[in-house]
Amino acid sequence: MLMRFVRSATLQAAGQDFVRTAAAKGLTRTRALIQHGIPAVGLSIVTVLGLQVAGIIVGSVVIEQLFTLPGIGRMLVADVGTRDLIKVQSELLVLTGFVLIVGFLVDLLHRAIDPRQREAA
């Protein structure tokens, strides 16, 4: 999914006016796309990557249960079955913490990539 998104975003950026203008000023099409197109779509690529990483963290519950792997996902399913609510809440808190950390890292990457966000603070 990420590769398809990167491809479509890059093709969309290749058709933008600023990339065509850079190519018209003497840059090769590839160089114009790398210097001007990729930074323009970098924020959306980082966002999609962050969403996928968060999905993988939460999806570990299913994978661990499916392949009988030990981990927090398998423990969560077992604790739901035994109705141990304190442990269930703790495990969900840990999973939520991981997702929040991924979101925070995505926000930091946005700030590092986009100069407009650096100046706004």
- Give residue-wise pLDDT tens across range 28-82: 888 988 888 888 888 899 999 999 999 998 888 889 988 988 998 899 999 999 9
Checking if the pLDDT of 17 tops 70, the result is yes
Higher pLDDT, 25 or 117: 25
Higher pLDDT, 116 or 2: 2
Closest CA to 8 of 29, 37, 35: 37
Q: How far apart are CA 65 and CA 36, in angstroms?
A: 45
What confidence score (pLDDT) does residue 101 get?
96
Q: Is the pTM of this model over 0.85?
A: no
